[in-house]
Chain A
Amino acid sequence: MSNQQPRQPIDPLVAQRLQQMNTRTGQTLPPPRPIDADQAAKLAAAAQRAAAARAAKQGGTAVRTAPNPGRRAKPARASKVGALALSVATTAGLTAMFAGQDTGTTDSVVLTGGTLATVAPTASTAATASTEAATTTAGDTLTSADPTTTVAAAAPAAATILDGTYVGAADSNRWGVVQVQAVYSGGQLVDVQILQYPDGDNKSVRINQRSLPTLISEAIANQSADVNTVSGATYTSDSYVASLQSAIDAAKAASGITG
């Protein structure tokens, strides 16, 4: 025992506990294993952190302590960089994909001759032929806000609307412009053709492709612009009604019908 090294200081908290236990049990326990310098430094840092935490909890001024040496200064750094890179790459990829989708589907969503649905319940062959001719000439390029009228040569009896195609006023809403033309044959509304509709993005195209056929068939069934608003297409429905009503008014005016 003579060559025993001088003991290094142990943690004061441990020494205090040891003394208390010795006093309580009445026997002397062997002193704890001596700690090396590295462990002593860790203990000191831990004690400092604990003191700072106690001070902060009691409302005192927290003391900035040295970080835990076993703890990384910037944890999950690689994962963070990965998450950011993945997010940016996904955004770029999705944007490119949406652009590609729009380019790829442009042809399929353009309306042929401006007509979404051709519903002609009572039209004769001649009337249908003239309708198609009028549609072809009308195309998608009519942007005038003033209603214009194309009247066919055949004139039926008085008090009925003359056969022909009557272009309604272009009605703007927050998503774009809706313009329709009404086709009359035998005094009946036989078709409503869409000259313009909001088609700036896929969302509008999808909404209008779903709603406009319903609005067209309802107008033909009712023989008027008195149609129900299609759920999810309120703006389109309102603009459709406004444009169709102006077309019907133009048809009546051209036919000499008042009221």
Chain B
Amino acid sequence: MTSWWWYLTRATGIVAAVLAVASLVWGLFFSSRNTGNRLKPNWWLALHNYLGGLTLAFIGIHVVVSFLDTDSGLRFVDLLVPNSTAGWAIGWGVVATWMFVLVVVPSMARIRRRLPRKAWHAVHLISIPAVVLSMVHAFQSGSDATVSWFTRGLALLVGLAVYPVTIRLIGLSQGRRRPAAA
């Protein structure tokens, strides 16, 4: 049975990584107004919010299942404190998890209403390093890190994330220049 926990840990980790990148891409396309005309902006926003929540749910399952897997040797403190005893390969994952919590929880409607927009936005930008750290965690501690389909898949995910990040950064730089010229 312990092996099944291990398989489930790996599977949920991979799915969580894909969902994190999907949520990031959705959010970046939405914020850079590159959503096209076919679908309404509220469709993009609703799906972005949902994917963010789903990412956190799968990360939660990933963490719980890895703890239940007795072969992994992970203690409870290893899942909460980075680099406690399990090393940084696991530690990056712990840091990324806390970052995702920071991103998703304040974005819940009830909490977001009480936050100043600038503060919420600053916290929300943590999602980018969170995705980067989750990729580092996958490469360093993933059992499948040496398997070609896994490395190619992660490279594809990184590529998918880099494109909208670039568009967003270009949009931000243009937006900053425009008011100064006006």
Contact = CB atoms under 8 A, between A and B. Distances in A.
Interface of A: 71-72, 74-76, 79-80, 83-84, 87, 90-95, 98-99, 102, 174-175, 200-203, 206
A201 B8 CA distance: 13
Contacts of B44: 76
B46 A76 contact: yes
Nearest to A201: B6
A94 B73 contact: no
A95 B46 contact: no
Chain B interface size, as a band, is 20 to 34
B42 A83 contact: no
B15 A90 contact: yes
Looking at chain B's contact residues, the main secondary structure is helix
Contacts of A206: 143, 146
B7 A71 contact: no
Contacts of B151: none
A206 B143 CA distance: 9
Contacts, number: 74
A178 to B, nearest CB: 14
B11 interface: yes
B41 to A, nearest CB: 9
17 contacts: A71-B42, A72-B42, A75-B45, A76-B44, A76-B47, A79-B43, A80-B46, A83-B50, A87-B54, A90-B15, A94-B7, A94-B10, A95-B7, A98-B10, A98-B11, A175-B71, A206-B146
Contacts of A84: 54
A79 B22 CA distance: 13
Interface in B24-64: 40, 42-47, 50-51, 54, 58
B154 interface: no
B101 to A, nearest CB: 19
Contacts of B54: 83-84, 87
B14 interface: yes
Q: Main SS of the interface on chain A?
A: helix
Given A80-B47, A95-B11, A98-B11, A200 B42 contact: no
A110 to B, nearest CB: 15
Contacts of B15: 87, 90-91, 94
A174 B50 contact: no
B166 interface: no
Interface string B1-21: 011101110111011001100
B73 A99 contact: no
Contact of B71 (A71, A90, A200): A200
A102 B3 contact: yes
A75 to B, nearest CB: 4
A238 B14 CA distance: 31
Given A99-B4, A174-B73, A201-B143, A94 B11 contact: yes
A200 B5 CA distance: 12
B143 A203 contact: yes
A136 B134 CA distance: 45
B43 A76 contact: yes
Given A83-B54, A90-B15, A95 B73 contact: no
Contacts of B2: 200
B152 to A, nearest CB: 15
Contacts of A71: 42
A200 B4 CA distance: 11
A95 to B, nearest CB: 4
Contact of B58 (A87, A102, A202): A87
A175 B73 CA distance: 7
B25 to A, nearest CB: 13
Contacts of A80: 46-47, 50
A83 B73 contact: no
Identify the 7 closest CB pairs spanning chains A and B, nearest first: A94-B11, A203-B143, A174-B73, A98-B7, A76-B46, A75-B46, A76-B47
Contacts of B146: 206
A102 B147 CA distance: 14
B48 to A, nearest CB: 9
A210 to B, nearest CB: 9
